[in-house]
A and B are shown apart, each in its own frame.
Chain A
């Protein structure tokens, strides 16, 4: 199965600063790269995703970049706000697979200090 690693495991930033979380994966068949955000007491929620034919995708303050050769993709959050504080998970997958499982990383606890 897929081996997924996230770094760092914890990240503290000042409000307004940028945050970057990196995810490395092992399965070269992976072609779908989502990031999920889990707030305290809630289930994970998709915040952004990218397909393998695209190198970068941006949605307001959030962006994801992909380096398929090196098998890693990153989540970038700019102008961080206290409400960005949560645990973030990457979950690379093979869209061509008939199976729907997601291999989640161990998560990154992001804390944004006001």
Chain B
């Protein structure tokens, strides 16, 4: 168990809908990262937050947004969903602002299916 929790575990929805994925980092970790994993794109970095502020952006679509709250949990919002958004979404956390300096701890993921 990495100490990172994600809810829900599975999510099935229809095209055009909006969903929210939730992540609680390990106790004491200030950085939260979101990744998307699909068969054709592999494991892709979406966005990073550090202590409530956006730190880095990766291949995140404009239809997607995220935020980190004062209690350090984070939410990833996906709107106007398309079939191609079906994927596993992982949240990871690390202690400092520079995840490249060490280990990132991954949650179990949320499997999103868009029908």
- Interface positions of A (Cβ within 8 A of B): 32, 34, 41-46, 49, 89, 93-107
CB within 8 Å for A102 and B42 given contacts A43-B92, A43-B109 = no
CB within 8 Å for A99 and B106 given contacts A45-B2, A104-B43 = no
Q: Sample 29 A-B pairs with CB under 8 A, ordered by A number.
A: A32-B102, A42-B108, A43-B2, A43-B92, A43-B106, A44-B90, A44-B106, A49-B102, A49-B103, A89-B43, A93-B99, A94-B100, A95-B98, A95-B101, A99-B99, A100-B50, A100-B55, A100-B56, A100-B96, A101-B33, A101-B99, A101-B100, A102-B33, A102-B99, A102-B104, A104-B35, A104-B43, A104-B45, A105-B42
Where chain A touches its partner, the secondary structure class is loop
Pair A99/B48 contact, Cβ less than 8 Å: yes
Q: Give residues 56-93 of B contacting A (CB, 8 Å).
A: 56, 58, 90, 92
- Interface positions of B (Cβ within 8 A of A): 2, 4, 31, 33, 35, 42-45, 48, 50, 55-56, 58, 90, 92, 94, 96-104, 106-109
- Contacting residues, chain A, for B56 (C-beta < 8 A): 99-101
Q: A100-B55, A101-B56, A101-B58 are in contact. List 17 more A-B contacts (CB 8 A).
A: A32-B101, A42-B108, A43-B92, A44-B106, A46-B104, A49-B102, A99-B56, A99-B99, A99-B100, A100-B97, A100-B99, A101-B45, A101-B48, A102-B45, A102-B99, A104-B45, A107-B42
